[in-house]
A and B are shown apart, each in its own frame.
Chain A
């Protein structure tokens, strides 16, 4: 690998230790919310952890909204595009998405493959991530241009790549997740494991658990395909609301509203850590950390 040709992409990614691609054949299963949670949890895992999140869902970017960064723009510096930092001045959670490049946030991005390919290459080669411990890449549904381009451009750093597959428990979603797993095998991308999302819903009134989209399918698939199972996450309305609104709801009666800059602490993270999902997701991250060295060792040799 030492003789591999240096490209603008490898130069940029040289100082990134681990690259985790979050994917799923199916749309709307929670790739972006898992990516966001993964980035937040990794960020919280150590006081010095530096995390990046790259949203390559070009025609439907959701990451800016989820991290409360809607309406931010990207700045150009002499050393490339400056990512948007979700944690403000601490600058440990860098974020990049097509959403930051749009004039109006409701504009559609109507691109065919080659244009998408060019954008992804630019994201990989022109963004000034700096030194990162983790780069989480959120992908669009399917196994097409974006995925192939990502892997093509990152081929020289293949030994640092791994994937997390997200699915929901119903058969229709599992079928697409299976296709996604076949894809990772075809391109020789090591899989850290499967996350089962939207696994059950707790009625806020009586506490009864309803399996709105069935349950257990993800664990079953992981077992059948001999892939680690990272955990199941129930539908958490608090999390849905947090990632959806991304605006702190002022508690009624509080008059003191600190200016975002003097808040200092990372507000979104604080609120995230209070959701029931955060505790569950910690296990997912622990599992990821455990499998990461094994997986990378396997592909690096």
Chain B
């Protein structure tokens, strides 16, 4: 007998509350409150009764706060370390290069926030005012929010389970004084779990304009990225396109290009084609990108003539085009 248990025989994950028991059938299910798993669940009575279920009380507040945000873009990837945060930062900087455009970056990678370091604002802290938490500003028109600003020390681990992570994400959306924004770019952690489900749930009413999926060329990464795209389809998020990072490396000694992460299965190009997505572009591996991220400076500004800069700018231009903002 094959496959003992199919992990996928579960309710629509969006309908399973954060504090539900292991086999919760989902609040929208006919079995809600009646299945064996519901025994002992604090919400059993509410689910079993026929009273229409009220939405999360945070939702109207989030909708209110997000009503002044024009575009909400997610940066995703099933795999870690492919350059989601680096790309998010470059995207933020590139949008904010236009003084008239207000940009926000929200880092929902709760356990490993990299955005503050990459943007060079790691030592900043969040201040609160009557209007809510003020984002940390990199420049006048680029505001940032991350768990990284709230830790007593950068060394501290954030050992939180799902519900606590969801709580902070909801706060980032409803309690941060984002003001009027043209773009809100949301950087996510690897995987398809609590953070991802929560952000989708919380922004369901306000709407997400689309997701950018970042990958590297090797199959081990592509595998996870296919899963992430499958996730986007399941929850109904439009994928704007795929960005391939760390593609090819030009040796500074002899200028020969070699593949560090060989695309053994055709790389992102084939993945995009197979899944019917647009390939937004490939960014070559330039050691200066990583270095810029470590020092918290904008790679696009520091090395305007690098081929990677050209690739980034082309991709960003294409994203604006797809959104109809170019």
Q: Does B20 contact A (CB under 8 A)?
A: yes
Q: How distant is the Cα of A210 from the Cα of B291 in the complex, in angstroms?
A: 13
Contacting pair B231 A60 (CB below 8 A): no
A227 to B18, CA, bound (A): 37
Contact at A106–B223, with CB atoms within 8 Å? yes
B4 touches A110 (CB 8 A): no
Number of residue pairs across A and B with beta carbons under 8 Å? 260
Q: Interface readout for A245-284 with B: 1 if CB under 8 Å, 0 if not?
A: 1000000000000000000000000000000000000000
B293 and A170 within 8 A (CB): yes
A113 touches B291 (CB 8 A): no
For chain B residues 160-203, which have a beta carbon within 8 Å of chain A?
Answer: 160-163, 165, 189-194, 196-197
Residues 1-38 of chain B, each 1 if its beta carbon lies under 8 Å from chain A, else 0: 11111111010010010101111100000000000000
Interface size of A by CB at 8 A reads 79
Per-residue interface assignment for chain A, residues 182 to 205, with 1 indicating a CB less than 8 Å from any chain B CB and 0 otherwise: 110011000000000000010111
Instruction: Return the contact of B220 from the options A32, A58, A181 (Cβ within 8 A).
Output: A32
A28 adjacent to B264 (CB under 8 Å): no
Q: How far, in whole Å, are A210 and B260 apart by their CA atoms in the complex? A: 11
Q: Is B261 an interface residue (CB 8 A)?
A: yes
B290 with A208: CB separation less than 8 A? no
Main secondary structure of the interface of B (DSSP, over half): loop
Interface string of B284-320 (1 = CB under 8 A from A): 0101001101100000000000000000000000000
User: Interface readout for B107-140 with A: 1 if CB under 8 Å, 0 if not?
Assistant: 0001110100110000000000000000000000
Do A103 and B262 have beta carbons less than 8 Å apart? no
The interface of chain B, by Cβ under 8 A from chain A, is 1-8, 10, 13, 16, 18, 20-24, 78-82, 85, 110-112, 114, 117-118, 154-163, 165, 189-194, 196-197, 216, 218-221, 223-224, 226-228, 230-231, 234-235, 249, 251-254, 256, 258-262, 264-265, 285, 287, 290-291, 293-294
A: residues with CB less than 8 A from B are: 25-29, 32, 58-60, 62, 65-66, 73-76, 81, 98, 100-103, 105-119, 122, 140-145, 147-148, 168, 170-173, 175-176, 178-183, 186-187, 201, 203-206, 208, 210-214, 235, 237, 240-241, 243-245
